[in-house]
Amino acid sequence: MAKLGFIGLGVMGGQMVSRLLDKGHVVTGYNRTRSKAQWLVDRGMKWGDTPRAVAAAADFIFVMVTNSDALKSVAEGPDGYVAGLAAGKVVIDMSTVSPTASRALAAKVREKGADMVDSPVSGSVSTLQEGKLSVMVGGRRETFDRVQPLLQDIGPKVSYVGNNGLALSIKIAINLSLAVQMLAFSEGVLLAEKSGITRETAVDVLTHSAIASPMVQYRGPFVLKLPEEAWFNVNMMQKDLMLALEMGRELNVPLPTTAVSNEFLTAARGMGLVEQDFAVMFDVLARMSGVSR
């Protein structure tokens, strides 16, 4: 079993560590708020006081934080994980940030004699718990070959997509579609509801129809009841849509439905719904339609 490190023990990161512990790996973890990771310490995870300590203790260092600023805070400086790297170590960065920023960080990692892949995931907490998570990897092929067995302990579908940054490109492409699908699903539910069909019936029919993608099936029911803890909140989704819009401008790809979906997330923030799962886009459209949750 490999000596692993994991930096960022939020909802998804914590569940990943749990799976890695189940597979028998030795994991040293770090989270900005230690109390949120206590359940993993109780399960046998070792604790690192700093990201640097985690990198020093592990051969493979997973990182999963919310955005570019959070990534910079755990990577750089005297306590950052880059300072704890040495030749032969590998960073597996699962954070969703811009491909350009990720490539720049990979260059700093390689200056230490280590290597880095970007390895974002597609799926939700329930997908992860069911063992159906999809993982994308960008980086050197030989490094992918080293990390693939570890990533398969997290999710069964591990895809090599090319050089550094390209896994992030496909992840951003996936996530823009999640928001667009959620908005379109909300439109369908509300159109049916205002026609006289109960919301419950509309959700049941739509989630078993031709439009029922995996995302619609697991997130569609959120228009009936939001989860107590957001799987992926408004801020996180809007961050990814902004990354998509930035890429669209750089690559001359119009993203009209992404732009509209982004405006609904802005409206959700204005309504004080920022900490809710991004499925709360339904509530924004419902209020505009004169319908209450």
Residues marked active site are found at 171
Residues 6+ apart with CB under 8 A from 25: 1, 2, 3, 4, 150, 153
DSSP string, 215-242: HHHHHGGGGTS--SS-SSBHHHHHHHHH
Distance in angstroms (rounded) separating the CA atoms of residues 118 and 154: 15
* Contact indicator for 85, 55 with CB cutoff of 8 Å: yes
* Contact indicator for 253, 247 with CB cutoff of 8 Å: yes
Of 259, 220, 214, the residue nearest 241 (C-alpha) = 259
Q: What count of residues does the chain have?
A: 293
What residues are paired with 122 via a beta bridge? 134
Say which residue the tokens 């000596």 belong to.
Answer: 3
- Beta-strand pair 121-122/60-63: unpaired
